[in-house]
């Protein structure tokens, strides 16, 4: 019997350490240098605080836990990573301090999978060492969920490629050292063979950040999602990442991992909202009793607990499947399922927590508003919910076939007739004739 829901004691010790380390040493950074400061290149002053924290994570062998030993991680696999990411999800700085922040984890993963040795040396090493940040530049102003509608192209010119086009919502481009850009290299070859990925240093002439778009709630000077005009951007031929025409497969690898990591961290955010909900319910007194004694508030607690429990089990199961099969494609349906669940679970739980906190919950004196705004982000970044539902449905339907003949397989009269015929051969007992 192979089912086991326990964590091995050695890794549990690491998780316990990470939990108190994040709460005591990292969360203060969230308060003094709030998001998006965690994505900005470090000043010498900040380094004096951040570098020793990173070193403590390394000393505990928890740095870049998503990667194998050849790349500076420990090869813990996705299941252990999921347990760690639940802890890191509580804090905006924690993923940076542990070397597992989006979008860099996904970008690192494709560099590790598809990069040449030179590319790994130039881009992956400093990325994994936490020296630089990166950007993934795929969405365009006129199209996101449907890559067939992308227009940006790269044309070969001697030993170089020349990139032209527009990209939108390229997160953290302004602070990134390099961008991974998805472009057409051969339109006639179609979506699955005609697009390629390129590594583009951000200071390459022609990489024009036209505007940094803000998310709701972001301060204008902190806007972090770039509208970029790539205007005759020349990169050497060796900056092609993965095979020519292979961008779709590269993107799937990147987004598969990225979506799972988002879901893992969402478990941590939602748990934090439940912690706040319960504490408040036990602390606030109204109409003769504490809130926790009111049945409607108890319903909030129970619904939140149950919703998160279901979601967490599915996230852990997906992580387990990836470890088993080492193949994101094989787990595609369930990755899409957790991508669909994440925004709803987060929204519902944070909403209840806000409600129980009253006006305080809606105020900027509490972190709930920011957590709440993260819910629609989870429903959009790395593809909208609707598209992931389509993926789930198509994959589920693959396991079925149309009924033979007029009636469904479960049609009772048809099944009864078959059962009668089968049993009549071996028994003379009174068999239901179907007319009753």
Ligand X SMILES: Cc1cc2nc3c(=O)[nH]c(=O)nc-3n(C[C@H](O)[C@H](O)[C@H](O)COP(=O)(O)OP(=O)(O)OC[C@H]3O[C@@H](n4cnc5c(N)ncnc54)[C@H](O)[C@@H]3O)c2cc1C
**Minimum CB distance to ligand X smaller for 242 or for 383:** 383
Residue from 77, 126, 369, 384 in contact with ligand X (CB under 6 A): 384
Question: Shortest distance, CB of residue 7 to ligand X, whole angstroms?
Answer: 31
Question: Shortest distance, CB of residue 380 to ligand X, whole angstroms?
Answer: 4
Output the CA–CA distances (angstroms, integers) from residue 353 to 259, 269, 281, in the order listed. Answer: 25, 12, 9
Q: What's the first-to-final CA gap in the chain, in angstroms?
A: 45
Residues 6+ apart with CB under 8 A from 85: 95, 100, 261, 264, 265, 267, 268
The answer to whether 65 and 73 are in contact (CB under 8 A) is yes
**Phi, psi angle pair for 150, to nearest 5°:** -65, 155
**Minimum CB distance to ligand X smaller for 62 or for 381:** 381
Residue from 36, 95, 130, 144 in contact with ligand X (CB under 6 A): 144
Question: Shortest distance, CB of residue 217 to ligand X, whole angstroms?
Answer: 11
Query: How many degrees, rounded to 5, is the angle at CA 57 between CA 54 and CA 58?
Result: 90
DSSP-derived secondary structure letter, 349: H
Residues 6+ apart with CB under 8 A from 93: 26, 27, 29, 30, 33, 38
CB atoms within 10 A of CB 287: 7
**Minimum CB distance to ligand X smaller for 215 or for 335:** 215
Q: Does 165 bind ligand X (CB under 6 A)?
A: no
* Only segment of 35-43, 131-139, 244-252, 282-290 that touches ligand X (CB under 6 A): 131-139
The first and second tokens of residue 434, run together, are 């179907």
Q: Does 139 bind ligand X (CB under 6 A)?
A: yes
CA 80, CA 6: separation in Å to the nearest integer? 11
* Only segment of 32-40, 261-269, 356-364, 375-383 that touches ligand X (CB under 6 A): 375-383
Question: Shortest distance, CB of residue 226 to ligand X, whole angstroms?
Answer: 9
Residues in contact with ligand X, total (CB under 6 A)? 23
Q: Does 136 bind ligand X (CB under 6 A)?
A: yes
CA 311, CA 274: separation in Å to the nearest integer? 14
Q: Does 215 bind ligand X (CB under 6 A)?
A: yes
* Only segment of 45-53, 59-67, 93-101, 142-150 that touches ligand X (CB under 6 A): 142-150
Residue from 170, 196, 271, 307 in contact with ligand X (CB under 6 A): 170
Q: Does 394 bind ligand X (CB under 6 A)?
A: no
Question: Shortest distance, CB of residue 86 to ligand X, whole angstroms?
Answer: 21
> Of 387, 374, 318, which Cα lies nearest the Cα of 344?
374
CB atoms within 10 A of CB 378: 24
**Minimum CB distance to ligand X smaller for 316 or for 335:** 335
Residue from 20, 365, 386, 424 in contact with ligand X (CB under 6 A): 386
CB atoms within 10 A of CB 299: 11
Residue from 85, 105, 119, 137 in contact with ligand X (CB under 6 A): 137
Question: Shortest distance, CB of residue 281 to ligand X, whole angstroms?
Answer: 31
Residue from 38, 134, 152, 171 in contact with ligand X (CB under 6 A): 171
Q: Does 387 bind ligand X (CB under 6 A)?
A: yes
Question: Shortest distance, CB of residue 173 to ligand X, whole angstroms?
Answer: 8
Element (H, E) at 157: strand 153-157
User: HSE on the CB side for 17, CA within 13 Å?
Assistant: 14
Site for ligand X in 239-258 (CB under 6 A): none
The site string for ligand X over 80-119 (x = CB under 6 A, - otherwise) reads -----------------------x----------------
The answer to whether 205 and 227 are in contact (CB under 8 A) is no
Question: Shortest distance, CB of residue 295 to ligand X, whole angstroms?
Answer: 36
CA 51, CA 106: separation in Å to the nearest integer? 23
Residues 6+ apart with CB under 8 A from 410: none
Residue from 138, 179, 331, 354 in contact with ligand X (CB under 6 A): 138
> Of 315, 312, 335, which Cα lies nearest the Cα of 254?
335
Question: Shortest distance, CB of residue 430 to ligand X, whole angstroms?
Answer: 54
For ligand X, the binding residues (CB under 6 A) are 103, 136-139, 143-146, 169-171, 215, 225, 377, 380-384, 386-387, 390
């Amino acid at each position: 019997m192979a089912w086991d829901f326990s964590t091995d004691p050695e890794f549990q010790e690491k998780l316990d350490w990470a939990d108190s380390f994040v709460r005591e040493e990292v969360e203060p950074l969230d308060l003094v240098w709030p998001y998006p400061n965690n994505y900005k290149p470090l000043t010498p002053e900040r380094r004096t605080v951040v570098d020793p924290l990173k070193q403590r994570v390394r000393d505990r062998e928890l740095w870049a836990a998503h990667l194998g030993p050849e790349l500076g991680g420990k090869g813990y696999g996705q299941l252990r990573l999921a347990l760690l990411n639940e802890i890191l999800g509580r804090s905006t700085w924690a993923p940076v301090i542990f070397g597992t922040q989006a979008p860099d984890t996904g970008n690192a993963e494709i560099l590790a999978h598809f990069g040449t040795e030179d590319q790994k040396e130039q881009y992956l090493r400093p990325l994994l060492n936490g020296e630089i940040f990166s950007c993934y530049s795929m969405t365009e102003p006129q199209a996101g969920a449907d890559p067939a509608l992308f227009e940006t192209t790269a044309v070969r010119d001697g030993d170089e490629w020349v990139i032209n086009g527009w990209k939108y919502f390229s997160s953290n481009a302004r602070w990134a050292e390099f961008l991974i850009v998805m472009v057409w290299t051969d339109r006639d070859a179609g979506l699955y063979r005609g697009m390629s990925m390129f590594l583009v240093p951000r200071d390459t002439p022609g990489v024009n950040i036209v505007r940094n778009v803000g998310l709701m709630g972001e301060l204008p000077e902190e806007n972090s999602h770039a509208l970029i005009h790539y205007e005759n951007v020349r990169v050497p031929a060796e900056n092609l990442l993965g095979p020519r025409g292979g961008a779709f497969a590269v993107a799937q690898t990147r987004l598969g991992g990225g979506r799972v990591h988002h879901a893992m961290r969402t478990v941590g955010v939602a748990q934090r909202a439940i912690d706040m909900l319960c504490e408040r319910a036990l602390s606030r007194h109204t109409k003769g009793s504490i809130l926790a004694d009111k049945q409607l508030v108890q319903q909030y607690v129970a619904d939140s607990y149950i919703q998160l429990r279901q979601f967490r089990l599915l996230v852990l199961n997906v992580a387990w499947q990836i470890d088993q099969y080492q193949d994101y494609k094989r787990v595609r349906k369930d990755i899409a399922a957790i991508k669909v669940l994440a925004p709803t679970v987060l929204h519902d739980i944070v909403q209840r927590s806000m409600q129980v906190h009253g006006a305080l919950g809606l105020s900027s004196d509490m972190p709930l508003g920011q957590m709440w705004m993260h819910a629609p982000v989870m429903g959009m970044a790395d593809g909208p919910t609707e598209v992931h539902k389509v993926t789930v449905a198509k994959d589920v339907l693959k396991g079925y076939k149309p009924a033979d003949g007029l009636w469904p397989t479960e049609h009772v009269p048809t099944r009864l007739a078959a059962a009668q015929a089968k049993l009549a051969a071996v028994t003379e007992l009174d068999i239901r004739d179907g007319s009753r």
